[in-house]
Amino acid sequence: MDEQQFDECYRATVRRLVHFAYAMCGDVGVAQDLAHEAYLRAWQRRRQLATYEDIEAWLRLVVTRLCTDRWRRLAVHHRALRSLGLPESGPPPSEDTVLLVAALRAIPVKQRQAIVLYYLGGLAVDEIANEMGASAGTVRSWLARARAALNARLTEPIRSGTEERPR
């Protein structure tokens, strides 16, 4: 992966990756940091990554790992990332989104990862199974449990979406 390819990959994927990181981690600032941390690592490992078919899947994997168990131990990385001069994030998310993210954080990480890949990432069950190294049946089971858990926590219909959809 040369500089131009990296830059193109970054520009094409950064929004999606930040969205994914936010859904997985539940904090906008941390999500920005995690996503950029993943790109830093991608550039450091560009020789290996050049052989991968789906770099975005690799980036999501890094974000997932970081946000589930490693990030707290890597406080110094916050400092390194601040040197990037990332601007402050925009207006805070709406209450609906905060509730969604809080509900996501309350479910086990595998279920969370599956349901975020499905609804936010738009991946098919088979693709999620491939990315998570699980069978399609397992992914369907995770999705069903995650839906049930979110159902239980998000009882109010969303009010401020772009359009009202029938319940």
Partner 1 sequence: MTDDHLYTRFDKLREDLMSPSTADPSALRQAARHRTRMNTLAAAAVTAVGAIVAAAVAFGAPQAPQPGASTGPTTPIPSMGPTGSPAPSATPTCRAFTLSHYGGDGHAGSATNGYAVTNTGSVACELTGFAGLTFVDQAGRPLPTTIVHSGTETRLVLAPGGVAYFEVTTVNVPVDNEGAPCDPPAAGLLIFLPNSGETVNLPGTYRACGQGRATMTPFHESPDPNMHQ
Which 8-state DSSP code applies to residue 129? H
Instruction: Please report the DSSP string for 74-137 in residue order.
Output: GHHHHHHHHTT-PPPP-SPPPHHHHHHHHHHHTS-HHHHHHHHHHHTS---HHHHHHHHT--HH
> Does the protein bind partner 1 through residue 89 (CB under 8 A)?
yes
Quick one: which segment of 49-57, 105-113, 129-137, 149-157 binds partner 1 (CB under 8 A)? 149-157
Quick one: which segment of 22-30, 49-57, 58-66, 125-133 binds partner 1 (CB under 8 A)? 22-30
> Does the protein bind partner 1 through residue 27 (CB under 8 A)?
no
- Residue 34 CA from chain centroid, whole number: 9
> Does the protein bind partner 1 through residue 69 (CB under 8 A)?
no
What's the rounded Cα separation, in Å, for the pair 93 and 135?
34
Where along the sequence are the contacts to partner 1 (CB under 8 A)? 3, 6-7, 10-11, 14-15, 18-19, 22-23, 28, 31-32, 35-36, 39-41, 43-44, 74, 76-77, 80-81, 83-91, 93-94, 96-97, 100-101, 115-116, 119-120, 147, 150-151, 154, 157-158, 160-163, 165-167
